[in-house]
Structure 1
Amino acid sequence: MSQWKQIQLLENRLLEHVDYLYDDNFPMDIRQGLASWIESQDWDTAANDESVAAVLFTNLLSQLERVRSQEQNFLQRHNMKIIQQQLQVKYSANPAVMARVISNCLREEFRILSSACMQEQGPLEKSLQDSGAFERQKTMDNRVGIIRSSVQLMDQAVKYIEDMQDDFDFRYKTLQSRDRNSDMMKQEVTRLQEMLNRLDFKRKEILSKIDDVIKEIEDLVTTQLNPVLHDWKRRQQVAAIGGPLLTGLEQLQNWFTLIAQSLFQIKRQLDKLGELVVKVTYENDPIPLQKPQMEERVKFLIYHLIKSSFVVEKQPCMPTHPQKPLIIKTGVQFTTKVRLLVKLPEVDYQLKVKTTFDKDLPPGRVSRQFFILTNNTKAMDIEDYSNGCLSVDFRHLQLKEKKYINGTKGNESLLSVTEELHSLSFEACLTVQGLTIDLETCSLPLVVISNVSQLPGGWASVMWYNLLTDEPRNLAFFGNPPRANWSQLSEVLSWQFSTFAGRGLNKEQLTMLGEKLIGQHASCSDYQVSWSKFSKENIPGKPFSFWMWLDSILELIKKHLLPVWNENYIMGFVSKEMERILLKDREPGTFLLRFSESHLGGITFTWVERSDNGEVKFHSVEPYTKNRLSALPFADIIRDYKMISDGFVPENPLKFLYPDIPKDDAFGPLYNSHPNSNTTPPSCQSLEPPMTPGEFDMLNEQLCFDIETVSLHALTPGEVHHFCF
């Protein structure tokens, strides 16, 4: 069943999350109309390869044209034409952006489907899906709308005061040319006094309204906008380590822009009132008394609003490892993107952004120092496909380690290479309406590696940091890393499987995994797991840590076991003791698949048999690792597996996948080749015989005694393979 069909079977609660994924950047009409085609393309590669993205973009437009031409409904045909035109406008110049959008949507669909298999959401995801978020958004929209309306009305009020003042000024100058002693003169003076009193009242009134709006903006920014921005940044952290897809930046940009526009409009209104004072003023004129303080408040709000709107939209990431951001390898290009959320005509010009590595890092904090080898300055551009915001996309940054005199390095650190945290800073200087604003923001902490073998350790650090703190730049974090609750950590580990292997872990698998890491404490969700226990200490009796073991399993699934894993046929994290408990009462030939506890990146299977006297026997094979699975698909290994029976006739002992699924019913659709095909069997030297040494010696002795007992020519390629020795 296609992913999109599975999505449509979800309950309404989860369908609402799916609905939130699709907007003008990737309309749901396309997802629906091209579901199978979209799922068959490699969007991850296209997102980081312009040439592949360009081909896929052209193909997508062709597919849309095909579907549109076959559509019978006139209105639907018209809508698809509009969508096609919008896509061309948005993505023709940069199709990789489209690929990233689609890749993110597909990945989030995977995560939603995975969460549907879980009995309940984890605490971290629950915290990000606050039930009051929608109400807060409505409140924010309403408050911003009221502010905009109030500012527009104040424009009219200032214009009315200007007209009143012009009328007063004209009458006053006319009066000066008349006879001062006439009765008409006295009446005119009285009228002018009334006009001045009315003008004074209106000036005080408009200043009071401006003060009220400034107070409302101050409160809105402090109590709602800043927390929403902080929440978005926290969700960006969680999304970086496999959590829910990051959304909401367009909405944030809209709020930032409308509030900034209101503040600049108020600033112009205050400037206009200042001009009116030059023409007409009087004793206790409220404008000179109140305007300076109001101007300072408005400038302060503009300054801090625009400074906080300068954000890292996409954290630094190597295109070769798009699902593991915040890890940079020296000498390898990485990308990052910065965005200004305030969209104003006044700043629609080239704003240069400079990047600096480890800016203002205290001496002695790290043992290695780096510099940006490539051009570190680039101008921001207006993005048509994102409603005209200013952004800069650095695509070719590269780090190089500093060389030291006489080959000596800097201060020695107690931290490992993958625990040293670094930072990438971004700076720009913006001048708008007489205000000069220094913009600065920074990436989340980075791990810099020099060898790809350090990637697993680096990713462990990235996960631990972004799970446990929302501080944007705590580079000393691993000097004393906090512990993680098992409930939090298990949720993030499940995300790793949904991100890298397409399906997360269910409750039973997480419990098994927890027992592997913390023993019986796995049943306690609040049990504290230390950083050392997770990533640094070796598993008792093993030469590797828990995380190295788990990461090797992820790699094995991703490269060799995806079809079997996504069908939920691998039980995975079950101990030898537990597998015997599960199998002992099952039909002979029942087997289960689990990951090896003794090998890095190995999978094995165990089956149950009963002897004539009813004795239960268990058989396990030596784990299959990436080297062995590179030669033959795992489903074919299950199909062709043979062992020597008592009569020395090879037979497949695997009958039922636990608990009771006939083997061919489960794996049949996954078989890559027919067992009787003429395919040349893989080299016998690459795979060890899946039998015990005693069985192997017995077979060898029997073949030497009577070679005619077994005819190799009568065996299938898979059987021949198991007789090679």
Structure 2
Amino acid sequence: MVTETDGEAAQKQHRMSQWKQIQQLEIRLLEHVDYLYDDNFPMDIRQGLSSWIESRDWDIAANDESMAVVLFTDLLSQLDQVRSQEQNFLQRHNMKIIQQQLQMKYMTNPALMARVISTCLKEERRILSSACMQEQGPLEKSLQNSVASERQKNMDNRVGIIRTSVQLMDQAVKYIGDMQEDFDFRYKTLQSQDAPRNPEVMKQEITRLQEMLNRLDFKRKEILSKMGVVIKEIDDLMTSQLNPELQDWKRRQQIAAIGGPLVTGLDQLQSWFTLTAQSLFQIKHQLDKLVELVVKVTYESDPIPLQKPQMEERINYLIYHLIKSSFVVEKQPCMATHPQKPLIIKTGVQFTTKVRLLVKLPEVDYQLKVKTTFDKDLPPGRVSRQFFILTNNTKAMDIEDYSNGCLSVEFRHLQLKEKKYINGTKGSEGLLSVTEELHSLSFEACFTVQGLTIDLETSSLPLVVISNVSQLPGGWASVMWYNLLTDEPRNLAFFGNPPRATWSQLSEVLSWQFSTVADRGLNKAQLNMLGEKLLGQHASCSDFQVSWSKFSKENIPGKSFSFWMWLDSILELIKKHLLPVWKEDSIMGFVSKEMERALLKDRESGTFLLRFSESHLGGITFTWVERDHNGDVKFNSVEPYTKSRLSALPLADIMRDYKVISDGVVPESPLKFLYPDIPKDEAFGLLYNSLPSKAYPYIPSTLIPISQLRSRPIATPISCQSPEPPMTPREFDMLSEQLCFDIETMSSPYSD
């Protein structure tokens, strides 16, 4: 019995707006959605303008300044309209505030707004895609845990308590200063009296001064004790929470780089880093104030001179490590020509990267210069090719006016060139291929603040350097494998002995590739078919180990290409020729021939499905079911359509115009229903190309794909024998002029 498939359920979903689908998600996924929206793009706008937002192309606007200006102006106009129709006074007021904030934030940079909205919409689609999966993958689960709101609340509370404690110590230091001034005044007054003094009065005054000094000593010890407690608390915060949060963000950045959920939370990290740094510098200032008090009043066993050196050393140590770890790569190196494939650099092609300092202090010298170096301190003989940065590799950090005022620098025009070797000889040729050689881009700066000098250094994730676009698929396989299986920031020898991946890990990342290219990942049935192709009988074992060689280097049995090359060619085909059809969930895609026949055999004649070719790189075919007058079932498949054929005619138009000639019968379409039972024109109608304008002076010609089914030998490719009245020679000539016959011989079903 054939039950409702993932495809059938998805058809219903696609008739619903994206925002309505989002609102129907379960709570754990809605928490991810809530995490997307902040002051940069409030959820009120997403809710109020949902239809309008989804009908605009924000991806193009993000890279087109003129279009971004138009959309920004239009968005403000839409907000005016929504606000004028709002009956609730408070909501109307809030909308006005939001509109003013948007104008201030994006008026001078509307393309930034387009990028923000584009990012949110993409992440929404990825969340929806993950909701279609019957279960989350291990990486998705781990990332979900890493952004738990409870953890953030705990961090906010701890940082807030520390800040409050430090502020209270400010008051305590001031109080000690006032006490000391009072003591100093009384002591000097007593010393300056020249007239004979009453011994009893003198004794009382001395006793009072001693009590004041004891009180002062107690307060000095108390404030130093409180400082020690707060410093210990900051030390523990950095060790147990802040540094792990930073490492967690870096891990999420790795996962985002290979198509996973977009990385967020850097602004939150900056807030925690900055507040912690401010607390440390404030304690350092308080300690200096206490030292100033010692200059005026000190005594035997004064605790300040005794404890100050060790305490100051600890504070400086924490500041040093806090600021040093706050120097991060916000955007990993990426070529503008391939924004969805970061960490692959082609020689001679410009690429972009960005570093950021998470500590925001008003005292910082903002002319902080950052220098980039390629393959810094790389051991000799590690790689067979060496490169240098051809363009300017030094740039000053500056404050981002359009963000929360972070200190950052973006290198937008870096370019690599391979070093020339004497006598044409290179370094030692290793066993690794070009796409397995890993390289690194380092960033250095010298940071000076409040008398402290800190040498900052960070590096990108490992890079793959290619010299030809044909190496891009292999390079991307290496980037995926590395970032999937290790969180080491700079293990450049990784492919000397690459670890294995479990199928559950790998399948999740493969689904992300489809989400990235086409906003829709793979369902469980599609992943099962991929698992069978890669693992055979072990496909049902989610923890089965897949080797790097089997994934990317070894050819599929009986084929001249590897599993990854086959899958990457399908991704390219979708991206360039099948995107509209894939987004509509009209392509089943990954289904074996056996399953294909099992799905179609009980369906009405003319039911068809689309799947990717298993024998061709980057090919798609369709199969339909027929029943003869005896009720016997027959399956027909066409030769796969590849990029060369789809460049001439879009797939939707092929499905619309496809005809079959059988025994000379007038061509007719055998395709009636997209599996399971969707009328063909309902499934593809919105994707058909519009007919030529009637004002066009020529008779339009149409390219119609036609197949010929031969049930018996015939003398010519096309016969006019038909139960219908035969064409006249004139009619035949006119038809021949208008139709470009794409004849695909099908004397027997095509076997793919």
TM-score bin, normalised by smaller chain: over 0.9
Partner residue, 1:403: 420
Partner residue, 1:11: 26
Partner residue, 1:483: 500
Partner residue, 1:324: 341
Seen in structure 2, the aligned counterparts of structure 1 residues 547 and 539 have a Cα distance that, compared at 3 Å, is same
Q: Distance in 1 between matches of 2:287 and 2:209?
A: 25
Within-5 A mapping of 1:311-710:
311-347=328-364, 349-646=366-663, 648-673=665-690, 680-681=700-701, 690-691=707-708, 698-700=715-717, 702=719, 708=728
Contact (CA 8 Å) 2:702, 2:740: kept in 1 or not?
Answer: no
**Code of the aligned partner of 1:344:** L
1:107 offset after TM fit, Å? 0.9
Q: Distance in 1 between matches of 2:328 and 2:528?
A: 39
Seen in structure 2, the aligned counterparts of structure 1 residues 378 and 92 have a Cα distance that, compared at 3 Å, is farther
Q: Distance in 2 between matches of 1:190 and 1:704?
A: 129
Seen in structure 2, the aligned counterparts of structure 1 residues 424 and 523 have a Cα distance that, compared at 3 Å, is same
Which of these residues, 136, 142, 153, is aligned with residue 127 of structure 1? 142
Q: Distance in 2 between matches of 1:414 and 1:281?
A: 71
Q: Secondary structure at the match of 2:355?
A: strand
Seen in structure 2, the aligned counterparts of structure 1 residues 604 and 501 have a Cα distance that, compared at 3 Å, is same
Q: Distance in 2 between matches of 1:409 and 1:150?
A: 61
Seen in structure 2, the aligned counterparts of structure 1 residues 50 and 420 have a Cα distance that, compared at 3 Å, is farther
Partner residue, 1:231: 248
Seen in structure 2, the aligned counterparts of structure 1 residues 378 and 503 have a Cα distance that, compared at 3 Å, is same
Partner residue, 1:712: 732
Spell out, residue by residue over 1:74-124, the C-alpha distance to the aligned partner (whole angstroms, 9 max, x if none).
Answer: 554443343333223223343333232222111101101111211111111
Spell out, residue by residue over 1:208-266, the C-alpha distance to the aligned partner (whole angstroms, 9 max, x if none).
Answer: 11111111111111111111111111111111111112111111111111111110010
Seen in structure 2, the aligned counterparts of structure 1 residues 717 and 141 have a Cα distance that, compared at 3 Å, is farther
Partner residue, 1:170: 185
1:175 offset after TM fit, Å? 2.1
Contact (CA 8 Å) 2:58, 2:117: kept in 1 or not?
Answer: yes
Partner residue, 2:291: 274
Partner residue, 1:32: 47
Seen in structure 2, the aligned counterparts of structure 1 residues 632 and 253 have a Cα distance that, compared at 3 Å, is same
1:691 offset after TM fit, Å? 3.5
1:398 offset after TM fit, Å? 1.4
Q: Distance in 2 between matches of 1:607 and 1:338?
A: 54
Q: Distance in 1 between matches of 2:716 and 2:53?
A: 52
Seen in structure 2, the aligned counterparts of structure 1 residues 343 and 456 have a Cα distance that, compared at 3 Å, is same
User: What is the TM-score when the length of structure 1 is the normalising length?
Assistant: 0.94
The answer to whether 1:137 aligns with 2:152 is yes
**Code of the aligned partner of 2:397:** M
**Code of the aligned partner of 1:721:** F
Q: Secondary structure at the match of 1:638?
A: helix
| Percentage identity across paired residues of the two chains | 82
Which of these residues, 158, 167, 170, is aligned with residue 152 of structure 1? 167
Seen in structure 2, the aligned counterparts of structure 1 residues 540 and 679 have a Cα distance that, compared at 3 Å, is farther
Q: Distance in 1 between matches of 2:489 and 2:56?
A: 35
Q: Distance in 2 between matches of 1:206 and 1:558?
A: 65
Q: Secondary structure at the match of 1:523?
A: coil
1:448 offset after TM fit, Å? 1.2
Contact (CA 8 Å) 1:621, 1:691: kept in 2 or not?
Answer: no
Q: Distance in 1 between matches of 2:523 and 2:463?
A: 31
Seen in structure 2, the aligned counterparts of structure 1 residues 6 and 27 have a Cα distance that, compared at 3 Å, is same
The answer to whether 1:87 aligns with 2:107 is no
Identify which range, 675-684 or 262-271, moves more after superposition. Answer: 675-684
Contact (CA 8 Å) 1:640, 1:718: kept in 2 or not?
Answer: no
Contact (CA 8 Å) 1:309, 1:342: kept in 2 or not?
Answer: yes
Spell out, residue by residue over 1:45-77, the C-alpha distance to the aligned partner (whole angstroms, 9 max, x if none).
Answer: 443455554554444445445555665655544
Contact (CA 8 Å) 2:324, 2:455: kept in 1 or not?
Answer: yes
1:21 offset after TM fit, Å? 0.9
Contact (CA 8 Å) 2:664, 2:720: kept in 1 or not?
Answer: no
Seen in structure 2, the aligned counterparts of structure 1 residues 457 and 41 have a Cα distance that, compared at 3 Å, is farther
**Code of the aligned partner of 2:656:** R
Q: Distance in 1 between matches of 2:147 and 2:388?
A: 44
Contact (CA 8 Å) 2:270, 2:359: kept in 1 or not?
Answer: yes
1:581 offset after TM fit, Å? 2.7
Identify which range, 603-612 or 457-466, moves more after superposition. Answer: 603-612
Seen in structure 2, the aligned counterparts of structure 1 residues 210 and 175 have a Cα distance that, compared at 3 Å, is same
Seen in structure 2, the aligned counterparts of structure 1 residues 445 and 691 have a Cα distance that, compared at 3 Å, is farther
* 5+ long unaligned stretches in structure 2: 1-15, 746-752
**Code of the aligned partner of 1:712:** F
**Code of the aligned partner of 1:266:** I
Spell out, residue by residue over 1:419-454, the C-alpha distance to the aligned partner (whole angstroms, 9 max, x if none).
Answer: 111111111111111111111111111111111111
Q: Secondary structure at the match of 2:539?
A: helix
Equivalenced residues, count: 722
Q: Distance in 1 between matches of 2:416 and 2:648?
A: 37
1:538 offset after TM fit, Å? 1.1
Seen in structure 2, the aligned counterparts of structure 1 residues 701 and 288 have a Cα distance that, compared at 3 Å, is closer
Q: For the aligned residues, what is the CA RMSD?
A: 2.7
Partner residue, 1:47: 62
Q: Distance in 1 between matches of 2:651 and 2:390?
A: 44
Q: Secondary structure at the match of 1:218?
A: helix
Within-5 A mapping of 1:229-268:
229-268=246-285
Seen in structure 2, the aligned counterparts of structure 1 residues 595 and 303 have a Cα distance that, compared at 3 Å, is same
Partner residue, 2:127: 112
Spell out, residue by residue over 1:17-67, the C-alpha distance to the aligned partner (whole angstroms, 9 max, x if none).
Answer: 222211111112332343344334433344345555455444444544555
Contact (CA 8 Å) 1:313, 1:338: kept in 2 or not?
Answer: yes
Identify which range, 90-99 or 156-165, moves more after superposition. Answer: 90-99
Partner residue, 2:4: none
Q: Distance in 1 between matches of 2:644 and 2:147?
A: 51
Q: Distance in 2 between matches of 1:679 and 1:216?
A: 82
Which of these residues, 10, 32, 37, is aligned with residue 22 of structure 1? 37
Contact (CA 8 Å) 1:636, 1:673: kept in 2 or not?
Answer: no
Q: Distance in 1 between matches of 2:668 and 2:581?
A: 23
Seen in structure 2, the aligned counterparts of structure 1 residues 614 and 13 have a Cα distance that, compared at 3 Å, is same
User: What is the TM-score when the length of structure 2 is the normalising length?
Assistant: 0.90
Seen in structure 2, the aligned counterparts of structure 1 residues 495 and 368 have a Cα distance that, compared at 3 Å, is same
Identify which range, 700-709 or 212-221, moves more after superposition. Answer: 700-709
Seen in structure 2, the aligned counterparts of structure 1 residues 128 and 642 have a Cα distance that, compared at 3 Å, is same
Q: Distance in 1 between matches of 2:741 and 2:77?
A: 47
Identify which range, 532-541 or 611-620, moves more after superposition. Answer: 611-620
